Amino acid sequence: MKHIPRHKEEDIHTLILAIGDGIWSRGTRRLADWCGLSQKHVQFWYEHGQRIPTHWIEPAQQCCMHYAGKRVELRRDAKVSKMRKCLRCSKQFMSEDVGHRICDKCKEKKSYQEAVSASDEFKVLPK
């Protein structure tokens, strides 16, 4: 369960417009159909945080190649990245944005995975 990096807003916008021949709704519909997702799911990637999950980047690029004949570079938005202290182990790590407060090493631990899968949003997770 790795943190999903924020992408540059204009890159995601360009990708969806390329897939939709310049029409936003057509691009989100085509990309959703290509990935087997709902159109709202694809719109969420753009509207709420400018993030395309890592496992959907290559299918999105394949869709773009199919409809537009080209790939669109998806750059990470580095302006929000900085060193932060992990809330579980207290070690410094490169955080992708303000919501990335637990390092990837801690997220990979079995205790974290079990706690997250069985938790509600207000539960305090054990260290």
Model confidence over 86-113: pLDDT tens digits? 999 999 988 877 778 888 898 888 888 8
Please list, in sequence order, all residues whose beta carbon lies within 8 angstroms of the beta carbon of residue 61, skipping any fewer than 6 positions away. 71, 72
Task: Report percent pLDDT > 90 for the chain.
Answer: 40
Would the pTM of this model clear 0.75, i.e. be above it?
no
- Of residues 46 and 66, which shows the higher confidence score? 66
